[in-house]
Chain A
């Protein structure tokens, strides 16, 4: 029997109140009519209207999405290649340096990553803008992708690839027909992780962006530095809403797939 005491129930309740209360308060106050964020003056959606008329925020949102889509796609390709090299290619010259360069950015403080990339871009005379942000995001996100993908690569059965090779596949065909479908879920979650990291990043983007390209986090940061702003509350509510819908539906889809798989396996056993 599980012991589920009142103590456990209390700590779960308090824990989730702590985790969710700040965001719920933010959402509530985004519908506040008063500009004073702390005084409730009735329900209103005027901050959303103002937000959608704010050209700066819309432009920044477009830049952010472009950066996130392009950099997470590059990062997924490079990260998957890196994972394949680390797990499947055995020993080669400079392997230690290679794996070091994969793991170091994961623990590197963002201020240092940002600073070092900025100094590189200035050193080679590359104008700062959307391209430099994409380069920076691709670099740190590919390391996260490669960790996610390589953990999947190490756990699956190597003999499946060997069987494909024995049956006459070329190494590339074996990768495409056997390895890729198996590691596909890891690649997708790697892409999602890279995409969120890019959407979220303030520090590295601040170092590597120029006057021609500002991302949403940079805009939000400069707006809230001076205090709470109702427009940012509205923007936050929209972002929280998108993430919630995304995560909840993703988990429902995986749950349904798992149920279906279990049912298929059962009926296969019966027949």
Chain B
């Protein structure tokens, strides 16, 4: 009896507040927009029994998905989300790797402090961390004034409300997610392997490419997924730093829902976003499983 309650409580909670809402999105994505409350059609009428369910099912169609595939805006938004996510994941890797490497090489008594310094920004508000870049990147901002003061540029650079600002925002906010898995892979590295390689005539750079880099591969892959998956659906960063010119699918969904009040299309956008994410998520889980088996 106790066991039943123990299983049933979290189970039913998740069914009611995760599974059912998800099925509702799926259903509405197959419905048509209507000038009513709620603004979509058909409504499921259980009072009519079987006939009601049948009539309801016959009204569902893939019209919204056809609409999405014919409208340029959505293709562009999906492609630009993918492009932004890929580029910023690679940039994050480039920034994170040297930091993680240096942390793993630091003296033992320094490591806990360095780790805390990497994790600390993660506990501060995400929104504030994104916002802090608005004051830096604007035309009148700190960065432009600094660069003009040093004489590197004479005209202010336009950075805010461009894709560059979105890249910077994603690299900045997701950096800890990339540093930590790479650090934990590098930390386990056996130093004597590098000494052996150098004794056998490798240069330092060769030793890095032949030993350190391959052995940190699991950390790199995990970090890339941890950045890439949330970056695709990102909403806050493109809307604060990207301006109206930067299309990202999370922003399109938001506007479709709140500004256009087109629930069926917003739901269809959500379903396609999930379909795009399924492949990286499955690959990520495989990688994790492999790493776990290798660790045993």
Hey, which bits of chain A sit against chain B, CB under 8 A?
2-4, 7-9, 11-12, 15-16, 18-20, 22-23, 25-26, 29, 36-38, 78-79, 81-82, 84-85, 89, 92, 94, 97-98, 101-102, 104-105, 107-112, 115-117, 119-120, 122-123, 135-136, 138-139, 142, 146, 171-172, 196, 199-200, 202-203, 217, 220-221, 224-225, 227-228, 232-233, 236, 239-240, 243-244, 246-248, 251, 255
Contact = CB atoms under 8 A, between A and B. Distances in A.
Interface string B90-134: 000001001101110111000010101111110111111101111
B50 interface: no
Contacts of B14: 82, 98, 101-102, 139
B236 A221 contact: yes
Contacts of B284: 107
B134 A227 contact: yes
B267 interface: yes
Interface in B243-266: 250, 253-254, 257, 263, 266
A16 B100 CA distance: 11
Interface residues of B, number: 79
A8 B105 contact: yes
Given A3-B105, A119-B21, A220 B131 contact: yes
Nearest to A86: B10
19 contacts: A2-B105, A4-B105, A9-B102, A15-B95, A22-B132, A38-B135, A81-B9, A101-B18, A111-B253, A111-B254, A112-B25, A122-B38, A139-B17, A199-B125, A221-B236, A224-B134, A240-B128, A247-B123, A255-B112
Contacts of A115: 25, 253, 257, 266-267, 270
B135 A120 contact: no
B236 A202 contact: yes
B41 interface: no
Contacts of A116: 21-22, 24-25, 270
A18 B172 contact: yes
Contacts of B106: 2, 4, 8, 12
Contacts of A92: 7
Contacts of B20: 120
Contact of A196 (B21, B25, B123, B274): B123
A26 B135 contact: yes
A170 B13 CA distance: 27
